Structure 1
């Protein structure tokens, strides 16, 4: 059944008919509503509904506005009920949403400006406004100069200094976007270009092709003949709101979401060399150019040259072979020794998504998830997994309706009963237990001892000093039932900076203790960083790639975690949840020190 009634088709004379609103623009309005609701201290489930809907819209492969303008009903969308579907209709028809306008009028205008400053999300803006009366950038600057901000929860002296610098220099939020946000946009843009007659190839390049966790802008490389007006076709894409530059072989535009997209057009015969060059990174390009020079060759975006003769250009593989190298996957092209490893035959056999046998961090509606135990089990199985750890929040995280002892024991019984019925899928009994300020865990040992695994996480007191935070985590990891440190940095992209702690000491302790570190694949987290995962691998610490799923659709996020792991040079054996269920249980029973 459709979720919203059809609306009358827009007339050609209306502004919306001239340029249809993209999914990203609709999602951005939902994000604004969520931020403003957060500042107002609204119901957290209502806030999350808007954020989840925004994520759903950005992941769609088709535009909603064309459906609405044709008077068609919206299809069933994950996390989008009748109310939100109605707001999507409203946004497409009017260009805005009455709820956002009302919320904006209810808060001082300066608060919206504060949200654009790097390091400030709605929760911090709320503290600034309610605790210190700060409602403008000027007031923020004054308070920071007076040292009044550092004492607020979640701030600290270092963040205060960064905010002061950002305001003084007039810096807006750094324009880097989560990988999961950018990827579907890039897919739509490249597909649009591929459908143009005369275009032979169109593919993403730059940091997106290297699958970095955050992306500054989208780079697309197009192979086409000189008579094909690729740039002219590109700037007519319905999501384009502003043309920054246009030429015969290149163009740059801004989308309604604020994301910049650049294209470069090359002759098909030079496509391989251009793809190497525009994929980067800069450090990798320098390394392979130096390799070329040592061989008496010249390498640039047009090909590999010996004197004036082009000896390779059509494919990436031919370019690398001309340099005496095997093809290097884009994720490794960061100038971290990949060229030397290729020469020595030591490139890793990187982990693949289908290597994952299970997911060790997921939530149900018993805490702050959206689905039942059985629904999450079925979704995990549909995603190709064989086991799933249910790790709802513990009691201290009240905003997430965390489980106390009695509710957790009831869930243990429910999991046992469900496992008796499931075929091809096993649920593991776990908990995402809060690591309290003193490093103790939020539930007693007699309960934790009944679980298959314990995932420990920090959800409060983010502003402790590095020494205090490190001591807190080390104490938690010493606990005999502790299995995995979840999202160790606690960062939220563009909202919360990583914890101030001694991460090398944490990795060293994990190695000695035999516990694991999580690579959290949620798009707003992507935590740990690739370099940290690589450091953990070097010290024998296993990484657990988890979705932190709060709804059945979230298992699709695992691929982003795998991308991060590949950038960290991780192989199948470096990841805990590539083990079979029996191997995993042996590992967990032995506290991480068992031989698998």
Structure 2
């Protein structure tokens, strides 16, 4: 089987949580948590690194012992140490800790008080009102647990785009290595770059007489074959992801790619457009009566419908067909447009690389500038800085800048928005910075009115430049907090503040519809990696995908500007 990074991350997080429940050495617990974070942040496939005999101990936080455990996971798909821990604790404890708000200590408290070992027992106890009686919980906690169990059931089949990508890449390589298969593409929601993926839709063409389905089902990552025919097959990978394969004729390649990429609503709208021209459109081609007039390529099909090519990210039936007909499609932003990255962390707080290493990695990407934005003191788990520590950090950034004249290293901070909307650091230190990013990291449970007022007050602070991950969500794990985004965007526009598209795979926050709203309201955005290691800088492509789904163009994004233009823009907003 092929192990992907998400598998290793999950195993290490389970180990850390179970060690916590078993009251193990805190340093050992932290080592596994840091290793999980390192693996989650890698832009490369760890299994590929193992196959190349690369030294895993060069990764941040990965020593010889953890390197051996990664090797075991890659080779076997399991970790014997985790099996032992699950026997000593309870295997389902890890599942319980997937419920937001239930960390290792609370899971242990529920077990000690109510002998709760799994989700089913948790749900039953909550419905019976027994959880509210456990010390440290209460009725509100009980209600939240029930809500999160419902949400967990709703999202259980979906994974993040990046997790799907890690699962898809080795499968694509396997199929492309087959001489009989001539074309391979992923269609569906993955090609539209949706933030979470339910399954993968694979299309292939092959040489006459080839058995592509048989080759597909022999992939070593396949755990279960759901169906297998001459031109179609469905399998489930060891990761749990379902993959559907369709073999299509070369003459229909473009039509099939078009049909299986677009949302259902987009495809309906296209078919109506075809009918209006006396044509019929399906996955086999575009037809005038019985004559196929297009189908080899998507551009060919679109051209015969008298509209230009529509980027896959836009194919959601949100006005893209009408815009195409009027030749008013946006010139979507791309990674090549990005001049710098304005949100990243270093070893000063919870990052894994130094200022110098982050700057060198960014310079190798051709960036003109970066902003170092480590956490403020409120984020204690990340070793956040007080004013004195930030002052010393500013000096460190200046010292590195003198060594690296080829890239501008802006001095910044990710400062917490406190419950009352004030910022976590005094104005005197914030005024010494080039850029101040504010963010919500605590008190997610405020009412919509309270949360909205809190954030707007922070935007009105004269030092604030960017609002990071504006809705606080974690994909497949935590819902957005209640906030009036229209009111927040109006405040951002009035104050000249910028909203972030956070590119971390589990955030992608702003979402695509909020990106579109920002564009329509005249609010600028910043597409940032929120990198905690040099490898995380590659996350920026995730944010680009999100921006494109939100119809954003280079002019809508502040870090497409040159350093001179960016500084002028930030000064105007001061």
Q: Same fold (TM over 0.5)?
A: yes
* Residue 252 of structure 1 pairs with residue 252 of structure 2: no
How many residues align structurally? 564
2:404 to 409, 417, 422: 422
Q: What secondary structure does 2:403 align onto? A: coil
Equivalent runs, 1:96-495 vs 2, <5 Å:
96-115=78-97, 120-121=99-100, 123-124=102-103, 126-127=105-106, 129-130=108-109, 134-136=116-118, 137-144=120-127, 146=129, 159-163=144-148, 165=150, 171=153, 173-495=155-477
Q: Report the CA distance shift for 1:115/1:225 in structure 2 as closer, same or farther (over 3 A).
A: farther
Tell me the CA shift for residue 577 of structure 1. Answer: 0.9
Tell me the CA shift for residue 102 of structure 1. Answer: 3.3
Q: What secondary structure does 1:590 align onto? A: helix
Kept after mapping to 2: 8 A contact 1:144/1:163: no
Alignment correspondent of 1:78: 59
* Residue 60 of structure 1 pairs with residue 45 of structure 2: yes
Tell me the CA shift for residue 139 of structure 1. Answer: 3.2
Kept after mapping to 2: 8 A contact 1:28/1:54: no
Q: Distance in 1 between matches of 2:564 and 2:281?
A: 51
Kept after mapping to 1: 8 A contact 2:43/2:535: no
Q: Deviations over 1:90-141 (max 9, x none)?
A: 335665323312332343444234346xxx2475565454377554332333
Q: Deviations over 1:274-327 (max 9, x none)?
A: 000011211111111111111111100000111111110111111111111111
Q: Report the CA distance shift for 1:291/1:577 in structure 2 as closer, same or farther (over 3 A).
A: same
Q: Deviations over 1:398-455 (max 9, x none)?
A: 1111111111101111222222221220111111001111111100011111111110
Q: Distance in 2 between matches of 1:543 and 1:38?
A: 39
Q: Distance in 1 between matches of 2:47 and 2:94?
A: 30
Q: What secondary structure does 2:573 align onto? A: coil
Q: Deviations over 1:232-260 (max 9, x none)?
A: 00111111111111111111111111112
Alignment correspondent of 2:490: 508
Q: Deviations over 1:464-511 (max 9, x none)?
A: 111211111111111110111101111111221111111111111111
Tell me the CA shift for residue 20 of structure 1. Answer: 6.8
Q: Report the CA distance shift for 1:355/1:73 in structure 2 as closer, same or farther (over 3 A).
A: closer
Structure 1, unpaired ranges of 5+: 1-18
Q: Distance in 1 between matches of 2:178 and 2:330?
A: 38
Alignment correspondent of 1:14: none
Q: Deviations over 1:58-103 (max 9, x none)?
A: 8418546767xxxx67666634432221112333566532331233
Tell me the CA shift for residue 457 of structure 1. Answer: 0.7
1:584 to 553, 563, 566: 566
Mean Cα deviation higher: 491-500 or 79-88:
79-88
What is the TM-score normalised by the length of structure 2? 0.91
Kept after mapping to 2: 8 A contact 1:31/1:54: no
Structure 2, unpaired ranges of 5+: none
Kept after mapping to 2: 8 A contact 1:20/1:66: no
Alignment correspondent of 2:481: 499
Root-mean-square deviation (Å)? 2.7
Q: Distance in 1 between matches of 2:215 and 2:349?
A: 49
Mean Cα deviation higher: 28-37 or 490-499:
28-37
Tell me the CA shift for residue 395 of structure 1. Answer: 0.8
Q: Report the CA distance shift for 1:428/1:404 in structure 2 as closer, same or farther (over 3 A).
A: same
Kept after mapping to 1: 8 A contact 2:18/2:104: no
Tell me the CA shift for residue 145 of structure 1. Answer: 5.3
Q: Distance in 1 between matches of 2:75 and 2:154?
A: 30
Kept after mapping to 2: 8 A contact 1:365/1:371: yes
2:31 to 36, 46, 57: 46
Kept after mapping to 2: 8 A contact 1:154/1:461: no
